């Protein structure tokens, strides 16, 4: 069952995404999650140079769990047009969340049992890009930038040519660990999930994206 009572967090105000100049993070409010400790970051459009703005729009960024276990792998899949995200809590029990791919609204949360064979530490070095192909033949590539420790996303056309600039989709102030995982169940809405730390705890973060052109 999805937690019905949500723990309150202080409002956060974070700087605009430097890589794109496209979106800023404003005050956050709680969102439904598996452990009742999620944070939803409201996204607001900011003025940017049209020549350098990327062709990706960030719809939602949410912390799905504030206490995760990096010794178990992150598994991202799909169920129809929804996204499934499997992870382990800090106490080692696993859980699979089902979320809407457009706004990351919670659909379900069920326990998950990790097998001993799947147990492995999350990689901490520079990650390889993850690629998802959309319904129109275009694609999005995401990776962890080794300099900023943030997740970047780059759009490509059907021919493979890049479109616009790369967008930083992980909030400034969070250090991303390992490789981001990306999926687009309906061929339009893209969801990227990754582990990150705010220097106090390891968190599971998800971002929903859309191509703008």
* Confidence label for 9 from pLDDT (cuts 50, 70 and 90): very low
Tell me the pLDDT tens digit for each residue of 88-136.
998 778 999 999 998 899 999 999 988 755 555 554 544 456 889 999 9
Question: 3-state class of 117 per DSSP?
Answer: helix
Tell me the pLDDT tens digit for each residue of 124-134.
544 456 889 99
Instruction: Provide the token pair at 196.
Output: 């990150």
pLDDT for 65 beyond 90: yes
Instruction: Please give the backbone phi and psi of residue 116, each rounded to the nearest 5 degrees, phi first.
Output: -60, -30
- Whole-model pTM over 0.85: no
**How many whole angstroms from its chain centre is CA 123?**
17
Indicate the range of 2-6, 47-51, 105-109 predicted with least confidence: 47-51
Rounded Cα distance between 149 and 34, Å, is 26
Tell me the pLDDT tens digit for each residue of 145-191.
999 999 999 999 999 999 888 889 999 899 999 999 999 999 988 99
- For residue 212, give the DSSP letter: -
- For 33-60, letters b (16+ CB in 10 Å) and e give bbbebbbbbebeeeebeeeebbbbbbbb
Query: Which single residue is written with the structure tokens 């949410």?
Result: 62
Residue 93: what pLDDT? 84
Residue spans of beta strands (DSSP E) within 135-211:
139-144, 151-156, 162-168, 175-183, 190-197, 202-211
Rounded Cα distance between 79 and 119, Å, is 24
Query: Which single residue is written with the structure tokens 């970047």?
Result: 152
């Amino acid at each position: 069952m999805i937690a019905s009572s949500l723990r309150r967090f202080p409002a956060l105000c974070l700087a605009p995404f430097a890589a794109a100049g496209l979106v800023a993070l404003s005050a956050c409010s709680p969102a439904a999650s598996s452990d009742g400790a999620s944070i939803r970051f409201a996204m607001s459009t900011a003025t940017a140079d049209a020549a350098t703005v990327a062709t990706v729009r960030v719809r939602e960024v949410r912390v799905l769990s504030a206490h995760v276990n990096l010794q178990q792998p992150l598994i991202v899949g799909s169920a129809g047009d929804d996204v499934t995200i499997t992870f382990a809590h800090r106490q080692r029990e696993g859980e699979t969340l089902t979320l809407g791919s457009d706004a990351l609204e919670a659909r379900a949360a069920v326990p998950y049992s990790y097998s001993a064979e799947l147990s492995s530490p999350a990689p901490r070095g520079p990650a390889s890009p993850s690629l998802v192909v959309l319904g129109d033949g275009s694609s999005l590539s995401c990776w962890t930038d080794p300099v900023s420790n943030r997740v970047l996303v780059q759009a490509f056309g059907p021919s493979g040519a890049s479109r616009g600039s790369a967008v930083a989709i992980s909030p400034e102030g969070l250090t991303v660990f390992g490789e981001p995982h990306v999926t687009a169940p309906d061929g339009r809405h893209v969801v990227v999930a990754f582990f990150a730390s705010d220097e106090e705890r390891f968190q599971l973060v998800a971002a929903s994206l859309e191509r703008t052109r």
